[in-house]
């Protein structure tokens, strides 16, 4: 019996005249991601996307897992392909759903007849299939209000399908339909969540990571790679740009007042990141800042940081508390990696009493003690690039 995946679109259906562009982007994403599992026929018709395996040895568990990570999908289900006649549909339902039917007590059948040439109307299909399932599984009873399982029969122009239940999709809109942005990624909990949330809004991502050897270890950088690989399950492939930041941090320590260390470091990070972003065609920066979480995330500190930026800065976590952020990090499987004890450069030379209400003029005065431009140019010239898939 052939099994397929039926995909229900979410927000895409609201896109009006632009809907086809979003659907095409979703189809491209699905085909690219599924290609590693084998050959699939992916097509859209009647507000549903059908994913059909073309090889008999394809693992549909892997295919379903792959589909569950693709943005733009509201829900999906695994279904069997049935003959387009009532007897074939009934037999397929009993055979395909046997394990499910044995494990429940109540059910109902819903039928959707897209092919109006099919000789039976939806209520008739529901009644016939329901009666057949009760005959095959006598312990079952029909409950139209709160059934354990809803069996759905869809009769379409080119086939009939039988399924039980829907699986929630990743939601959002397809990656790439919202433009391209650069996420400043550390080894902490917050920035991978911020990357995931903005990819969900259709942004294609590149990532910039700052490393300060010997103060930060190679293992700390590998931790970031592992975080991005988990984000990439949702965002798709991306590039990671690792910036050598040791010289800049040492110069800040030697020439600037200690309580300005963090804000000056953040400003220089944003300056470097936006130069890389602009060079790679990205139109915005993304950070994992949450208002008031640490000294560099007060209103005053954020204002001083943004003063150096010439492109929009997206902060999707700004109004969230730590528990909310951790909940998402667990959902996307980054939390356990984030809490590994490998420090990133944000914790290097942390001042004992950082400025929480910095004045921009004073920050600029301290930052101007640095010979900034040559250091920035050297850092960018020595960036290392890595493909994340």
Residue 350 has pLDDT above 90, yes or no: no
Give, to the nearest 10 degrees, the angle between helix 246-255 and helix 261-279: 150
The string of pLDDT tens digits covering residues 16-49 is 888 899 999 999 999 999 999 999 999 987 778 9
Q: What are phi and psi of 152, to 5 degrees?
A: -115, 130
Residue 295 has pLDDT above 80, yes or no: no
- Is residue 255 within 8 A of residue 220, CB to CB? The reply is no
Percent of the residues in the chain that have a pLDDT greater than 70, as a whole number: 98
Residue 303 has pLDDT above 80, yes or no: yes
Residue 360 has pLDDT above 70, yes or no: yes
SS3 call for 297: helix
pLDDT interval class at 13 (50, 70, 90) = confident
- The domains of the chain are located at 3-170, 179-388
Burial track 241-251 (b if 16+ CB lie within 10 A, e otherwise): bbbbbbebbeb
Q: What is the pLDDT of residue 272?
A: 98
Average pLDDT of the residues in 356-369: 91
Q: What is the pLDDT of residue 348?
A: 67
Give the span between the Cα atoms of 321 and 292, in whole angstroms: 10
Average pLDDT of the residues in 378-383: 97
Both tokens of 12, joined, read 């895409």
Q: What is the pLDDT of residue 105?
A: 96
SS3 content of the chain, % helix, strand, coil (to 5): 45, 25, 35
Q: What are phi and psi of 71, to 5 degrees?
A: -70, 145
Fold of 3-170: VC0802-like (3.30.2130)
Contacts of 56 (CB under 8 A, 6+ apart): none
Q: Considering only 57-66, 73-82, 299-308, 341-350, which range has the smallest mean pLDDT?
A: 341-350
Q: What is the DSSP string of 304-322?
A: HHHTT-SS-EE-TTTT--H
The string of pLDDT tens digits covering residues 208-223 is 999 999 988 889 999 9
Name the more confident of 111 and 165: 111
Longest dimension (CA), the chain: 85
pLDDT interval class at 124 (50, 70, 90) = very high
Question: Distance from first CA to last CA of the chain, Å, rounded?
Answer: 33
* Selection from 319, 268, 284 nearest residue 195 by Cα: 284
pTM for the whole structure: 0.89
Q: What are phi and psi of 101, to 5 degrees?
A: -65, -35
Q: What is the DSSP string of 245-295?
A: -HHHHHHHHHHS-GGGHHHHHHHHHHHHHHHHHHHTT---EE----TTSSG
pLDDT interval class at 141 (50, 70, 90) = very high
Write down the architecture of domain 179-388 according to CATH. 3-Layer(aba) Sandwich (3.40)
Both tokens of 134, joined, read 């009760």
Burial class (CB in 10 A: 0-12, 13-18, 19+), 27: middle
Q: What is the DSSP string of 157-206?
A: SS-EEEEE--EEEEESB-TTTTEEEEEE--SSSHHHHHHHHHHHBTEEEE
Residue 128 has pLDDT above 90, yes or no: yes
Give the span between the Cα atoms of 88 and 70, in whole angstroms: 33
Q: How many Cβ atoms are within 10 Å of 229's Cβ, its own excluded?
A: 15
Residue 349 has pLDDT above 80, yes or no: no
pLDDT interval class at 331 (50, 70, 90) = very high
SS3 call for 139: coil
Average pLDDT of the residues in 90-119: 94
Separation in Å, CA 197 to CA 60, 80, 264, 274, 328: 27, 33, 27, 20, 9
Q: What is the pLDDT of residue 389?
A: 86
| CA-CA-CA-CA torsion sign (135, 140, 145, 149) | negative
Q: Considering only 40-49, 226-235, 246-255, 327-336, which range has the smallest mean pLDDT?
A: 40-49
Average pLDDT of the residues in 244-259: 93
Same fold, 3-170 and 179-388: no
> How high does pLDDT run on average in the chain?
93
Average pLDDT of the residues in 305-315: 96
Residue 347 has pLDDT above 90, yes or no: no
The string of pLDDT tens digits covering residues 257-268 is 988 898 999 999
Q: What are phi and psi of 245, to 5 degrees?
A: -120, 5
Q: What is the pLDDT of residue 82?
A: 92
Percent of the residues in the chain that have a pLDDT greater than 90, as a whole number: 80
pLDDT interval class at 225 (50, 70, 90) = very high
Contacts of 112 (CB under 8 A, 6+ apart): 122, 152, 153, 154, 155
């Amino acid at each position: 019996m052939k099994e397929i995946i039926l995909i229900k679109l979410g927000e895409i259906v609201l896109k009006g005249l632009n809907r086809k562009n979003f659907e095409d982007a979703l189809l491209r994403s699905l085909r690219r991601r599924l290609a590693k599992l084998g050959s699939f026929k992916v097509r859209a018709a009647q507000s549903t996307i059908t994913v059909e395996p073309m090889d008999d040895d394809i693992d549909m568990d892997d295919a379903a897992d792959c589909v569950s990570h693709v943005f733009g999908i509201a829900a999906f289900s695994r279904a069997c392909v049935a003959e387009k006649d009532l007897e074939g549909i009934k037999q397929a339902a009993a055979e395909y759903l046997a394990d499910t039917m044995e494990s429940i007590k109540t059910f109902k059948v819903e039928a959707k007849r897209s092919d109006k040439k099919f000789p039976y109307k939806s209520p008739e299909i529901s009644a016939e299939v329901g009666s057949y399932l009760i005959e095959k599984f006598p312990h079952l009873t029909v409950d139209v209000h709160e059934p354990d399982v809803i069996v759905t029969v869809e009769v379409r122009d080119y086939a009939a399908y039988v399924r039980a239940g829907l699986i929630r999709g990743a939601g959002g809109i397809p990656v790439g339909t919202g433009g391209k942005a650069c996420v400043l990624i550390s080894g902490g909990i917050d920035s991978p969540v911020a990357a995931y949330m903005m990819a969900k809004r259709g942004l294609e991502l590149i990532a910039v990571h700052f490393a300060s050897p010997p103060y930060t270890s190679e293992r700390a950088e590998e931790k970031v790679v592992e975080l991005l690989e988990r984000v990439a399950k949702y965002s798709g492939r991306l590039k990671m740009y690792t910036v050598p930041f040791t010289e800049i941090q040492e110069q800040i320590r030697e020439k600037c007042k200690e309580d300005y260390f963090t804000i000056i470091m953040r400003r220089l990070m944003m300056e470097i990141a936006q130069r890389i972003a602009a060079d790679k065609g990205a139109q915005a920066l993304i950070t994992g800042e949450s208002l008031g979480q640490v000294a560099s995330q007060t209103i005053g500190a954020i204002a001083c940081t943004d003063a150096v930026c010439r492109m929009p800065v997206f902060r999707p976590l700004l109004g969230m508390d730590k528990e909310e952020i951790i909940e998402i990090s667990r959902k996307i499987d980054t939390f356990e990696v984030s809490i590994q004890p490998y420090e990133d450069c944000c914790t290097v030379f942390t001042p004992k009493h950082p400025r929480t209400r910095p004045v921009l003029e004073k920050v600029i005065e301290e930052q101007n003690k640095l010979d900034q431009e040559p250091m920035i140019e050297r850092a960018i010239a020595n960036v290392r690039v890595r493909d994340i898939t």
